[in-house]
């Protein structure tokens, strides 16, 4: 006897096991378990994709914030200053006088006495920082371990700088008295009862004390800082 045709609109194709296409597999059957497993894996993969997307968004936000803030340069007193609102304050430095000095603790230090001829606006020591740099590539010669061994009458009252701590600076008043020292680690330190933040007088001198002679070696000396909305800048070759 021949089979009767399927009802109108119902496909005649049957899947293995006698189940017609489009009908869900019976719960508990092998096909039902396989179907449930596939759905579970699909949901798991979707959740993983969502988690990765969240992580990427967070990373992008963090990188954007860091880029906007900028990397802070290394100096012991470095701060993130607002954009300058006034004209640059130019510092005029005189020709260095090169010399050497016998240190009280033994050994010899080399000096370059740099006159402070003036600035376009009055400045205090709190407005400025100092750098020694290589002229050809602008790399800074840092001195994070330097100790400024100085008194009011002696720019090297202890041991001289060494290959690890290359330089420090002594500020002398116009009358020749040493009044302050400067290192990158400690900024300005007063040698007298006066505070470390003092007005800089024209005719003062910045005495660079070094472990080896730096004159005519391709090095430079820089004054930089920020005062009353203006950038402070001055430089000269050693």
How far is it, in rounded angstroms, from Cα 25 to Cα 36? 10
How far is it, in rounded angstroms, from Cα 140 to Cα 224? 13
Higher-pLDDT residue of 222, 28: 222
Q: How much of the chain, in percent, has pLDDT values that exceed 70? A: 68
Residue of 236, 238, 234, 237 whose CA lies nearest to 127: 234
62-66, 152-156, 183-187: which has the minimum mean pLDDT?
Answer: 62-66
Q: Find the mean pLDDT for residues 184-190.
A: 92
Cut 0.75: pTM above it: no
Q: What's the burial of 170, exposed, middle or buried (CB within 10 Å: 0-12/13-18/19+)?
A: buried
User: Rounded mean pLDDT of the chain?
Assistant: 81
Structure confidence by residue, pLDDT tens digits, 110-150: 999 999 999 999 999 999 999 999 999 888 887 778 889 99
CA-angle at 172, arms to 169 and 177, nearest 5°: 130
Number of H helices, E strands in the chain: 1, 10
pLDDT at 107 over 70: yes
Structure confidence by residue, pLDDT tens digits, 58-96: 667 766 655 555 443 434 444 455 666 789 999 999 999
Domain boundaries, the chain: 24-69, 89-237
């Amino acid at each position: 006897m021949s089979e009767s045709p399927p009802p109108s609109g119902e496909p005649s194709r049957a899947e293995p096991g006698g189940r017609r296409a489009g009908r869900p597999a019976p719960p508990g059957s092998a096909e039902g378990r396989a179907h449930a497993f596939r759905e579970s894996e699909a949901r798991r993969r979707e959740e993983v994709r969502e988690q990765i997307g969240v992580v990427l968004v967070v990373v992008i936000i963090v990188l954007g914030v860091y880029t906007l803030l900028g990397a802070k340069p290394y100096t012991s007193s470095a701060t993130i200053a607002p954009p300058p609102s006034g004209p640059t304050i130019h510092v005029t430095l005189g020709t260095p006088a090169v010399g050497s000095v016998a240190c009280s603790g033994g050994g010899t230090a080399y000096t370059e006495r740099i006159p402070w001829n003036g600035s376009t606006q009055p400045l205090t020591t709190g407005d400025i920082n100092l750098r020694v740099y290589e002229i050809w590539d602008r790399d800074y010669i840092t001195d994070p371990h330097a100790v400024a061994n100085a008194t009011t009458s002696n720019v090297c009252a202890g041991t001289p700088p060494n290959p690890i701590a290359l330089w420090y600076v002594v500020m002398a008043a116009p009358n020749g008295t040493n009044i302050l020292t400067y290192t990158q680690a400690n900024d300005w330190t007063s040698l007298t009862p006066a505070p470390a933040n003092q007005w800089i007088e024209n005719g003062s001198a910045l005495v660079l004390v070094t472990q080896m002679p730096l004159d005519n070696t391709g090095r430079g000396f820089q004054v930089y800082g920020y005062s009353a909305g203006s950038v402070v800048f001055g430089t000269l070759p050693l």
